[in-house]
Amino acid sequence: MTASKPATRRRAPRLSVDRPGRLGARLPRTITVIDLSLTGCLVRCGTLLDAGAILDLEIALDDGPLQSKVRVADASMDGAAGADEHAGFLAGLEFVALPPREAARLRRFLDEERRRRRGADATAR
């Protein structure tokens, strides 16, 4: 996200989403998850997060909230910020303590969402 970091290869394919969430620390922050993978996510938030910070993440999934510890891998200003109430900053988050049960739920959500989108694409043709 920043020009100072070299481009790195993603460890897991990412899926564009628009999911509400929350980051917990001393002051919980409301966020919007804009892409998601098995190893992490990209979020929009109203404040710049400190790189390296460990936070509690909660993401609204169809079957209930997904919870995990995350590490802020990178954070920057969002040059494309629009009217979203959580706009202003982007943060790349890496899952550092995703319990196996939550990892299975996340994998299921990603698989179902990809299948749903492929089906929608096929019927649109």
The two structure tokens encoding residue 86: 């959580």
Per-residue pLDDT tens for 53-110?
Answer: 999 999 999 999 999 999 999 999 886 655 555 468 999 999 998 999 999 999 999 9
The full set of domains in the chain, from first to last, is: 15-124 (2.40.10.220)
Contact 45, 88 (CB under 8 A): yes
Sign of torsion over alpha carbons 41, 47, 50, 55: negative
Q: Which residues pair with residue 42 across a beta bridge?
A: 35, 92
Contact 17, 113 (CB under 8 A): yes
Whole-model pTM: value is 0.80
